């Protein structure tokens, strides 16, 4: 019978949730800087007459920001809603012996969870754009 390994991040340590947020933010910022640099070079090369491929990239920049904003707002709303419900019920659970320190710890790191959920759509796009633009051949 295989035993499930315990991870350092199991949701009970609020500091690990904040560390996860910091690490993901650093990843996103690094990928974003790379994307901005590559797209800036691309825009300077296209000049006043962008090709169809360049126009597609320019339109994609705008639409992906709108989509990421919508996904971010939705993720933050649902995370905040579940956290609020959890925070409201935790004292009752603890009083009746149904809760644990895990449920109390989940309330203390709720801000980091909300921020992580809201950042995730931007992070995913920044990393995927950086990978895609690294592969793109300049013409």
Domain membership flag for residue 45: yes
Name the token pair of 56: 């597609």
Q: How much is the pLDDT for 5?
A: 47
Domain membership flag for residue 96: yes
Does pTM surpass 0.75?
Answer: no
Q: Per residue of the chain (139 residues), what is the pLDDT tens digit?
A: 555 544 444 455 778 888 999 999 999 999 999 999 999 998 898 888 889 988 998 899 999 999 999 999 999 999 888 877 766 766 666 666 665 555 556 666 788 888 999 999 999 999 999 999 998 765 5
Name the token pair of 70: 């919508």
Domain membership flag for residue 60: yes
Query: In total, how many domains does the chain have?
Result: 1
Q: Are 28 and 123 in contact (CB under 8 A)?
A: yes
Domain membership flag for residue 9: no
Domain membership flag for residue 41: yes
Distances (CA, A) of 83 to 107, 137, 139: 7, 45, 50
Residue 48: burial class (beta carbons within 10 Å; 0-12, 13-18, 19+): exposed
Domain membership flag for residue 52: yes
Task: Domain of residue 49: give its range.
Answer: 14-135
Q: How much is the pLDDT for 65?
A: 93
Number of other residues whose CB lies within 10 A of the CB of residue 132: 12
* DSSP 3-state percent helix, strand, coil across the chain (nearest 5): 80, 0, 20
- Count Cα neighbours of 80 within 13 Å in the Cβ-side half-sphere: 10
Domain membership flag for residue 2: no
């Amino acid at each position: 019978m295989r035993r499930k390994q315990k991870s350092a991040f199991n949701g009970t340590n609020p500091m690990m949730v904040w560390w996860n947020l910091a690490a993901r933010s650093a990843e996103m910022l690094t990928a974003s800087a790379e994307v901005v640099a590559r797209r800036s070079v691309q825009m300077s090369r296209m000049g006043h007459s962008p090709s169809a491929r360049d126009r597609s990239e320019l339109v994609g920049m705008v639409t992906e920001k709108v989509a990421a904003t919508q996904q971010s707002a939705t993720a933050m709303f649902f995370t905040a809603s579940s956290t609020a419900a959890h925070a409201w019920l935790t004292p009752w659970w603890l009083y009746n012996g149904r809760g644990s320190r895990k449920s109390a710890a989940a309330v203390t790191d709720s801000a980091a969870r909300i921020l992580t959920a809201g950042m995730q759509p931007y992070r995913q796009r920044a990393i995927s754009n950086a990978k895609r633009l690294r592969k793109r051949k300049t013409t």
